């Protein structure tokens, strides 16, 4: 009898593995077809799109697909005024001042919110406003004032200023009687609510946001286009989700929002090469991002798996679409034609100076498998605060103590653990709470990327292909160098201070204009974590060769 049961179990296990293998093979062979306009340069509503592998409908849907971010009640956000005047907080002009990209209303964005500002629904039918991938990973540049959308590009949102002004607006709303009356009247036109009960809800949310912002307080201003994502992820889980405030550490190593074309094809992602890009890695790291960007997860009171706001199916959809994304090509009709002789000369210099770290790729190959070059941080010489913060320090594990590190398997969690181990345990528990959704996501996301050669004992920075780099200023992982031209200067000659937030490109030096303008943020390389030293490659070129190299880089 035992032998029959054992054989049956083996047969069922074999069948399950066989079916999963078929799923993975079919998923790998099935290509997501390109839309007819996916590779066409088009202009819509005054904005030019460069044909990076997404059709217009895909682009709109990706811009407004929630991954589970919940900042405040959606109706509050739509009705909210600025703290100091009667202008709507969500007004396009104000959101543009914060670095968001205004967009027009469409079926995925009925209220005409900026790119990446989205609606999310919880199990009780409550509607929330939150951010999604596109908020941080969509760029928009201007050439002679004409807007150019960069899909998967570097956002210029001022994350901290957005949070600060949103909290101020909420506080002013409940403190100023006239502002409160206008606000509650707008809400009551939409639904039947009790004004005093609603005010209590807002006060509770204000207190929660105060706690969150205190946990993430830092003396290093992020400014436009930067965020210490790892620091905020660690705090969201180790301090907030575990309800252990003393676990918090200042997220004081902000980095630029990385571009996402080719990212799905690389063997490793993140600036410090910390995330192998084979499943379940991509799903797990995207899920941790959702938790950091105002996602929720309930840990205390739950045994092995944890309820969360993570939209697993949507994360899968987003990941698959980014797999189709290609780098933006230099728009010669708008930005100027490339000098072919200089490009040819620059190509020779690139082969001598750059290609051993920044490989050349065909971004239009849908099945490309790319490998980043991993360089020890001590060797490249750039600011090490980011890599050091990632690996240093341990936290109290609280209610996690005694549980398995991988939820159902692995070593028991001790009273203290690294922040990364705590985050990965909680994220795995959140995904395991919806096992079918997670399994389907893993199958649908699956891609045969190369295996990462990273050694966990070494602190790396990642050198990736630089196609499309013209559209991703400023440079280095911490955004400390404003143009590619400046990057080819010895670090002592690079700008010590410059302004970030201007979308107009510098077509000569490759980057964005850096002069002071309204709402721009000052970048000071003298602050901790902001150093612009290191990456002393190509810094001895004569001026003519430097300009030829820049011309070639534009063509990539």
pLDDT at 9 over 60: no
Give the pLDDT of residue 415: 97
Q: Which residue has the tokens 């179990």?
A: 9
More confident residue, 34 or 522: 522
More confident residue, 25 or 404: 404
pLDDT-derived band at 29 (thresholds 50, 70, 90) equals very low
Q: Which of 78, 149, 81 is nearest to 115 (CA)?
A: 149
What DSSP character marks residue 82? P
Give the pLDDT of residue 20: 57
For 536-553, the pLDDT digits (tens) are 999 999 999 999 999 999
Cβ–Cβ under 8 Å, residues 538 and 490: no
pLDDT at 307 over 50: yes
Give Dmax (Cα) for the chain. Answer: 83
Q: Which of 360, 345, 335, 339 is nearest to 511 (CA)?
A: 335
pLDDT-derived band at 409 (thresholds 50, 70, 90) equals very high
pLDDT at 10 over 60: no
Neighbours of 1 (CB within 10 A): 5
How far apart, in Å, do the first and last CA atoms of the chain sit? Answer: 67
For range 386-408, the mean pLDDT: 94
- Say what the pTM is: 0.93
pLDDT at 389 over 80: yes
- Proportion of the chain above pLDDT 90, given as a percent: 87
Q: Average pLDDT of the chain?
A: 93
The length of the chain, given as a count of residues: 556
Give the pLDDT of residue 130: 98
pLDDT at 309 over 60: yes
pLDDT at 271 over 70: yes
Residues ≥6 apart with Cβ < 8 Å to 340: none
Q: Which residue has the tokens 């996916």?
A: 38
Cα dihedral sign, 228-233-235-240: positive
For range 478-505, the mean pLDDT: 97
Cβ–Cβ under 8 Å, residues 323 and 447: yes
pLDDT-derived band at 453 (thresholds 50, 70, 90) equals confident
pLDDT at 21 over 80: no
Cβ–Cβ under 8 Å, residues 227 and 158: no
pLDDT-derived band at 25 (thresholds 50, 70, 90) equals low
Strands 416-418 and 255-256: unpaired
For range 487-493, the mean pLDDT: 97
């Amino acid at each position: 009898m035992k032998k029959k049961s054992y054989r049956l179990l083996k047969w069922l296990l074999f069948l399950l593995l066989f079916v999963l293998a078929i799923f993975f093979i079919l998923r790998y062979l099935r290509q997501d077809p390109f839309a007819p306009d996916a590779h066409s340069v088009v202009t819509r509503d005054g904005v030019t799109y460069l044909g990076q592998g997404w059709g217009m409908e895909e682009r709109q849907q990706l811009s407004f697909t929630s991954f589970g971010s919940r900042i405040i009640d959606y109706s509050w956000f739509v009705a909210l005024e600025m703290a100091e005047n009667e202008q709507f907080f969500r007004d396009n002009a104000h959101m543009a001042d914060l670095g968001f990209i205004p967009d027009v209303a469409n079926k995925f964005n009925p209220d005409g919110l900026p790119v990446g500002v989205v609606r999310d629904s919880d199990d009780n039918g409550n509607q929330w406003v939150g951010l999604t991938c596109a908020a941080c990973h969509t760029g928009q540049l201007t050439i002679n004032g004409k807007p150019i959308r960069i899909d998967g590009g570097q956002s210029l949102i001022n994350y901290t200023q957005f949070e600060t002004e949103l909290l101020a607006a909420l506080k002013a709303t409940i403190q100023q009687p006239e502002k409160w009356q206008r606000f509650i009247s707008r809400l009551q036109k939409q639904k039947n609510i009790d004004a005093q009960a609603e005010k209590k809800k807002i006060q509770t949310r204000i207190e929660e946001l105060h706690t969150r912002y205190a946990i993430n307080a830092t003396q290093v201003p992020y400014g436009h286009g930067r965020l210490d994502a790892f620091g905020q992820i660690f705090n969201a889980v180790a301090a907030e989700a575990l309800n252990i405030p003393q676990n918090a550490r200042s997220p004081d190593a902000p980095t630029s929002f990385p571009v996402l074309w080719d990212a799905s094809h690389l063997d490793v992602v993140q600036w410090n090469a910390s995330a192998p890009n084979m499943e379940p890695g991509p799903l797990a790291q995207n899920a941790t991002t959702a938790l950091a960007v105002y996602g929720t997860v309930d840990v205390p009171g739950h045994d092995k798996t944890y309820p969360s706001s993570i939209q697993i199916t949507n994360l899968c959809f987003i990941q698959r679409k980014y797999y189709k994304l290609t780098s933006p090509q230099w728009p010669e009709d708008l930005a100027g034609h490339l000098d072919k002789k200089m490009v040819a000369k620059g190509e020779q210099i690139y082969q001598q100076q750059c290609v051993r770290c920044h490989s050349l790729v065909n971004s239009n190959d849908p099945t490309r498998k790319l490998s980043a070059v991993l360089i020890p941080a001590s060797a490249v010489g750039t600011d090490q605060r980011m890599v050091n913060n990632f690996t240093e320090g341990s936290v109290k594990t609280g209610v996690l103590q005694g549980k398995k590190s991988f939820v159902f398997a692995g070593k028991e969690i001790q009273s203290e653990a690294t922040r990364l181990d705590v985050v990965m345990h909680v994220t795995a528990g959140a995904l395991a709470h919806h096992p079918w959704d997670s399994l389907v996501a893993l199958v649908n996301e699956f891609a045969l990327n190369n295996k990462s050669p990273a050694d966990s004992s070494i602190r790396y920075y990642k050198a990736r292909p630089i196609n499309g780099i013209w559209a991703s200023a400023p440079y280095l992982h911490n955004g400390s160098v404003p143009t590619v031209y400046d990057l080819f200067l010895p670090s002592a000659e690079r700008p010590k201070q410059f302004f970030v937030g201007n979308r107009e490109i510098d077509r000569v030096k490759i980057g964005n204009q850096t002069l002071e303008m309204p709402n721009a943020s000052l970048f000071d390389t003298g602050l901790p974590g902001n150093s612009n030293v290191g990456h002393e490659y190509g810094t001895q070129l004569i001026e003519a060769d430097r300009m030829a190299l820049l011309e070639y880089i534009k063509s990539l």
